[in-house]
Amino acid sequence: MTDVTRHALRPPEAGAPAITALTTPDDTAKAVVIYSGGMDSYTVLHRALSAGFEVHALSFHYGQRHSRELEAARRVCQQLEVTHQVVDIRAIHGLIGNSALTDTQRDMPGGDYDADNMAATVVPNRNMILLSLAIGHAINIGANVCFYGAHGGDHVLYPDCRPEFVTGVNAVAALADFNPVRIAAPYLYASKHEILADGVSMGLDYAQTWTCYLGGQRACGQCGSCRERLAAFAAQEMADPLDYAEPEVTS
């Protein structure tokens, strides 16, 4: 059983902001952004751009059930004229396939986004794998920071989105090469609706994102990811621009 109390949303210290301010880089600073095409990484991408980084976006096809997010990521990067690569690592699918996100034979859990309900969606060691590749790419192009969209709402369920994990990977990334790379997760302590609020303040269009765990023509409205997204829009008293088959949110 996941320790919900230990990993509840909490700030790094009393009074600290949930959203980490980004240091304005110099004119030559490059950053790698792990960009799934979902609303969290979409917001991270724009935060890195707004801070002045030369962004190199990486998306990964690791055998997930559908490619709707990857298609969204590709369109956004084309519109923004951001350097973007979709990296095909489906050869490792057999190593990390024990998840409802990668195994089409397993039922996708519905209902609220919590540990008891959504444990089946954990992809073994996913962010460690993706960050390792992103760090290598950063070193290769002379970037010194990698961004990813871990946030506070993930702490209860996903170990590779927790502050302890970010701290540990940062320590390794500083030692793995002669050129240290920093891992940045600006929403590490933020809730989903705080991420949305930050994106709205930047004028972002969330119709350009895909969140649903299923890959239908319309978002299902029932999986934990959809329900968390819909709850974020409800908290901001906004309508989600995506089309939903069954948009139901618990209070």
**CA-to-CA separations, 138 to 94, 126, 176, 218, 242, in angstroms, rounded:** 27, 18, 12, 35, 33
43 labeled binding residue: yes
Question: Is 45 within any annotated ligand binding site?
Answer: yes
Q: Is 41 annotated as a binding residue?
A: yes
Asked if residue 149 lies in contact with residue 127, where contact means CB atoms within 8 angstroms, the answer is no
**CA atoms of 56 and 83, how far apart (whole Å):** 5
Query: Is 213 flagged in the annotation as binding?
Result: no
Known binding residue 38? Answer is: yes
- 5 in a labelled binding site: no
What whole-number distance in Å separates Cα of residue 228 and Cα of residue 241? 15
User: Would the annotation count 161 as a binding residue?
Assistant: no
For the chain, what's the residue count?
251
Q: Is 77 annotated as a binding residue?
A: no
Residue 37 is labelled as binding a ligand: yes
36 is in an annotated binding site: yes
Question: Is residue 146 annotated as involved in ligand binding?
Answer: no
Closest CA to 223 of 215, 231, 232, 212: 212
Would you say 35 is a known binding-site residue? yes
39 assigned binding-site residue: yes
Give the residue ranges of the annotated binding site: 35-45, 212, 220, 223, 226
Q: Which residues contribute to the annotated binding site for Zn(2+)?
A: 212, 220, 223, 226
Summarize the annotated binding site for ATP as residue ranges. Answer: 35-45
